[in-house]
Amino acid sequence: MILVLAGGVGGAKLAQGLASQLPPEELLIVVNTGDDFIHLGLHISPDVDTVMYWLAGLNDRIRGWGLAGETWNFMTALGRLGDPTWFRLGDSDLATHVVRTQRLACSETLSEVTRHLSRQLGIAHHVAPMSDDSVRTIIHTTDGTLAFQDYFVRLRCAPTVTAVSFDGIEKAAPSPAFIAAMADPHLRTIVICPSNPLLSIDPILSIPGVLQWLRQRRVPAVAVSPIVGGQAIKGPAAKILRELGRDVSVLGIAEHYRGLIDGLVIDAIDEITAPAIEGLGLSVTVTNTVMANLDDQKALASVALALAAQIADGAHA
């Protein structure tokens, strides 16, 4: 049993790589829901949808989010009606939000809705939200406090970040599947995807009990660095780390996850940093971490699993 912690596109890519080589019952993908928001009366779960669309093979690979072959006639009509169009909802993608919103209104949990949507999309593996409770990532900036999508989409990450907080986190419980995985005696590895550590992974780790469980884990945990050569492959991770005075490097990532992981997969471009990371007591694997296609995703998934296996062997030795 492998537990994967994932955010949006980086998480979706590695999750798809893992899913392509693990049977459904051996993988649980727990996805950040701090980005969720209610827009136009619809419950939108951007990271859950990204992971589902990639696992279903329906994703738009260029854009990263949303469905391949998407059309935008709803947005054009919405603009004609004078409603805000800064958050783009594709015509096909809309069905996901409408169905989710309706099922949540009928008292289904986000876990149940996600399971239903996954199955309808033909996904064999188990995708679960990090929590069925409402957690909202709040971005504190020099321009004021912003809801996540306001910062991320509407303002395109332009404001300077001073802090990140997760509204509702103190009352949030891990989702049932997440709880079950943490208690599962067959759990053998935890994989933290190359998602934004502050915006995508920290919400998951901030759910009460998760950090403590991770610190006390008896199975190897490995992360894949989302920082490559001092830059984020996608999104504002590097910019935010810099604004918060953090080290924008694979070493900074290693320090961020210190005590929570046993191993870190870094890109070949960062090979020179490997000894410093090992100096922190972490095992390191150097490989290509830029996932340009499914082969890359599978290869990176194999490397992450091999690193975890190697750590487990070392612990047993």
Q: In the complex with a copy of itself, which residue's Cβ is closer, 76 or 293?
A: 76
* DSSP run (H or E) holding 13: helix 9-19
Exactly one of 45, 59, 96, 200 binds a copy of itself (CB under 8 A); that residue is: 96
Q: In the complex with a copy of itself, which residue's Cβ is closer, 102 or 145?
A: 102
For 52, 148, 162, 163, 239, the CA distances from 66, given in Å and listed in that order, are: 10, 18, 30, 28, 24
**Can residue 293 be called a binding residue for a copy of itself (CB under 8 A)?**
no
Q: In the complex with a copy of itself, which residue's Cβ is closer, 94 or 290?
A: 94
What the block records as the tokens of 66 is 């949303």
Q: Which stretch binds a copy of itself (CB under 8 A): 28-36, 93-101, 151-159, 162-170?
A: 93-101
Exactly one of 1, 22, 26, 42 binds a copy of itself (CB under 8 A); that residue is: 42
Residue of 215, 130, 141, 113 whose CA lies nearest to 169: 130
The distance of Cα 248 from the centroid of its chain, to the nearest Å, equals: 19
Cβ atoms within 10 A of the Cβ of 25, count?
A: 11
CB of 191 to a copy of itself, least distance (A): 28
**Can residue 94 be called a binding residue for a copy of itself (CB under 8 A)?**
yes
Site for a copy of itself in 59-78 (CB under 8 A): 67, 70-71, 73-74, 76-78
What is the total count of residues that contact a copy of itself (CB under 8 A)? 31
Q: In the complex with a copy of itself, which residue's Cβ is closer, 75 or 153?
A: 75
Q: Which stretch binds a copy of itself (CB under 8 A): 5-13, 89-97, 141-149, 178-186?
A: 89-97
- Three-class secondary structure of residue 287 per DSSP: strand
What the block records as the tokens of 75 is 């947005």
Contacts 24+ apart (CB under 8 A), 209-213: 209/174, 210/174, 210/182, 211/260, 213/182
CA distance 307 to 185: 20
Binding residues for a copy of itself, rule: CB under 8 A, are 40-42, 67, 70-71, 73-74, 76-78, 80-83, 90-96, 98-99, 101-102, 105, 116-117, 120-121
